[in-house]
Amino acid sequence: MTIDGKVVAITGASSGIGEATALLLAERGAKLVLGARNPDGLDAVAARLSATGGDAIAKVTDVSCREDLTEFVALAAETYGQLDVLVSNAGIMPVSQFDELRVDDWEAMVDVNLKGVLFGIAAALPVFRRQGFGHFVNIASTAAFRVTPGQSVYAGTKMAVRAISEGLRQEAGENLRVTIVSPGMTSTNFAESITDEAARTELERRRDDIAMPPDAVARAIAFAIDQPADVDIGEVVVRPTAQA
């Protein structure tokens, strides 16, 4: 298996898809660098990995801050001597109808979901170029394929992640890999960021009815990573069977 021994940095690693991915990759022998804004959750995941023999370090990281991501990537390279994979997973979903004019929420989604991915590229691309290898795994969403009322800005950020990732793949050359993973409804705490109470209640109801576990997305990420160096899984869409 090609995951064993790889250095993988994961943003949004304190819960949900990021946590599930860290646990799965640790089982398969990866060395992990975990980043998130929540220090308590981040420390808990790192401690859980260490307790089971995993090799992991953690750093509080706000992906909307370019300096944070630069330091996060540098920590991985300095600690382990290289960085094989950057999983840009951090994201928020404070959805609402346009008439609510929740402009602060719009800005937050652009800052985290979109600029966070760009800042990750800016931090890791020079490292990957110097090494001559590297893999970007950028988390988008099935919302990037289907816009629904109330989710327009969120979907816009995820469409942009797909476009940016595909452009990066075309420019990356034969030594770098770029993968887009687009999850559908997943059982995570994404609703916590929703400030519109009606929208939060509806999405929580749908999540509880049909959502898949975050492990399903983690397996898709691991599949993309666990390929020969000359094979690039361009995009994976993974959703619960009950999702339209």
Beta bridge partners, 58, equal: 34
Nearest-angstrom CA–CA distance, 195 and 223: 35
* 3-class state of residue 78 by DSSP: helix
* 3-class state of residue 10 by DSSP: strand
Provide the H-helix boundaries in 132-236: 152-172, 197-210, 214-225
Cβ contacts of 198 within 8 Å, gap of 6 or more: none
Share of the chain residues as helix, strand and coil, in percent rounded to the nearest 5: 50, 15, 30
* 3-class state of residue 174 by DSSP: coil
Q: Which of 154, 185, 199, 225 is catalytic?
A: 154
Beta bridge partners, 30, equal: none
Q: Known catalytic residue: 80?
A: no
Nearest-angstrom CA–CA distance, 87 and 11: 6
Which sequence positions are flagged as catalytic? 154
